[in-house]
Chain A
């Protein structure tokens, strides 16, 4: 008996018991649907994280001082105070894969406007900060190179700070006090939204790094350098050039360790998307259990079905069906059930992930990979759980089977 005939015979047998066939497949339908929906939630979360990091700029690099150890006691990353403005300028001049740099110093301060005050992060940055961070000025303007050189007391507000101090009034041209020092407001940055957790990226004030060094922090080194590469594919090249330039400037002997670190955004993005990957695996794993239970349901019904159809098996054997034919028929029935169930499950999965993203306001992403995997898995569930009942059917003795009441 060829495959087409076997499938035909199986379909006939299944259609004789439509309701039971549907209920049998229901386990697989729900299982596959759940796997696809769950994985789509995980993938959606991952995509969202990736998009967020992308919005920060994919060609972004960070230079931070290395860890200093004194008499065997390590001060941890960033404990060196050996990064200077000159280092930043050297990077810009000597590395042709580098487009912009921004020397950074950070601190926190109490900010006052009239009778309101707010405690926030003070970012001392260079004039290219908005370009590097892909962060536009919503109203007003950013400070210029000359304002930095002359360490002017000007500030650009994050939208959260602007909202808290001015409550919708126009802050441009107003004077705020940062640690009692008056600063003139030049502009407001566009809102970036919360990046997850309690950290709000809009809760900050950007001022010239020179001003921050002299007026607020009283230091003459810089804490980090933001660098943007010419293009995303050239970030690796930029990283190498920065390392080379800084090693020369810091007079580090060949073979000795760097006293600084260069990181790119992809390192950070990777670890974040790894976390969402774990979420995907977890959700998918839980859903797979329901698929497994669905498979056991198929086996259960197929076993019942074999017992119920012993007479039919006997008849088929008496007219010349071989063991192999019976085995294939029952196996095909199980596979047809699970594959059809798989198809319906895919539809259910896509449908429910649409509903989830619509009503729960969660981003979902139905990937072809998840569909293919769920489908393959449901097919193998059919083979795996269909085999035992099918084998049992094929091993029946025709005489006994014909006599079975």
Chain B
């Protein structure tokens, strides 16, 4: 395996049991993702995007197949080890922000650090740095209900990158934002990818959002429909 491969997936299947019927949400998915890539995953609802995200994000395990993240075989890890990987290597950004209510931007950003072994003295410093990176200086002590949608998503991004992860997973990050704010958020994400060399995987159904990606995977019924390399 080459050294700059971040994710290597081979014949990954994910099957759910809904009542008596088996639902094959993801079928024979094989792909590898390089470090520093900005990848978009597109597809209609029910195409397996979320399932793929959950597996890549170590929230879920494949039913069969192999998944290596930085050379580590994820399906063989236990729950605690998965939690550790989510903490160290992965940052999530969600469509609905998923911030803690009635909590300041700073406390939200600090959250992943509370579950790491970083000493308490450093957590504040790191959180302030991450908030500055997403352009939220001066708003650190605002509570989530005092922030706009765009600002909340910036807090979510700050929280995702505070632990210096190798992978940023963004699930419809602009879905709840207007076009202008959405573009600003995408600019932040793009800049993080370009300047900090963070690998970004974007899940979206908005072709405009997917445009900033250098490669787009189209999913349909749990299968790869096509892989499109942009700008070529």
Interface residues of A (CB under 8 A from B): 1, 4-5, 9, 12, 16, 311-312, 314-325, 398-399, 402
Contact = CB atoms under 8 A, between A and B. Distances in A.
A322 B82 CA distance: 9
B115 A321 contact: yes
B22 interface: no
Contacts of A399: 54, 59-60
B79 to A, nearest CB: 6
Nearest to A405: B96
Contacts of A12: 103, 107
Interface residues of B, number: 28
A320 B84 contact: yes
Contact of A318 (B84, B98, B120, B163): B98
B88 A318 contact: no
Given A5-B120, A399-B54, A319 B112 contact: yes
A311 B163 CA distance: 21
A318 B59 contact: yes
A1 B98 CA distance: 22
Contacts of B115: 1, 316, 319-322, 325
Contact of B112 (A16, A320, A322, A398): A320
Nearest to B51: A399
Given A319-B111, A323-B80, 15 more contacts: A12-B103, A311-B98, A316-B111, A316-B115, A318-B86, A319-B86, A320-B83, A320-B86, A320-B115, A320-B116, A323-B83, A324-B80, A399-B54, A399-B60, A402-B59
Given A12-B107, A399-B60, A321 B98 contact: no
Interface string B97-119: 01111110001000110111000
Contacts of B92: 318-319
Contacts of A314: 98
Interface of B: 54, 57, 59-60, 79-80, 83-84, 86-88, 92, 94, 98-103, 107, 111-112, 114-116, 120, 159, 163
Contact of B88 (A316, A320, A321): A320
Contacts of B101: 16, 312
B124 to A, nearest CB: 13
A312 B114 CA distance: 14
Contacts of A315: 98-100, 111
B87 A319 contact: yes
Contacts of A4: 120
A149 to B, nearest CB: 89
A312 B80 contact: no
A319 B159 CA distance: 9
Nearest to A318: B92
Nearest to B112: A319
A314 B96 CA distance: 13
Contacts of A317: 59, 83, 86
A322 B80 contact: yes
Closest 8 CB pairs of A and B: A320-B87, A319-B112, A320-B115, A322-B83, A320-B86, A315-B98, A16-B102, A322-B80
Contacts of A312: 100-101
B76 to A, nearest CB: 17
Contacts of A319: 86-87, 92, 111-112, 115, 159
A5 B122 CA distance: 13
A4 B119 CA distance: 12
A323 B179 CA distance: 38
A236 B123 CA distance: 70
16 contacts: A1-B115, A4-B120, A5-B114, A9-B114, A12-B107, A16-B101, A16-B103, A311-B98, A319-B115, A320-B83, A320-B116, A322-B80, A322-B83, A323-B79, A323-B80, A325-B115
A16 B112 CA distance: 19
Given A318-B98, A320-B83, A398 B59 contact: yes
Contacts of B100: 312, 315
Nearest to B114: A5
* Residue of A9, A311, A318 with most partner-chain B CB within 10 A: A318
Contacts of B80: 322-324
Nearest to A320: B87
Contacts of A398: 59
A27 B48 CA distance: 49
Contacts of A9: 114
Contacts of B88: 320
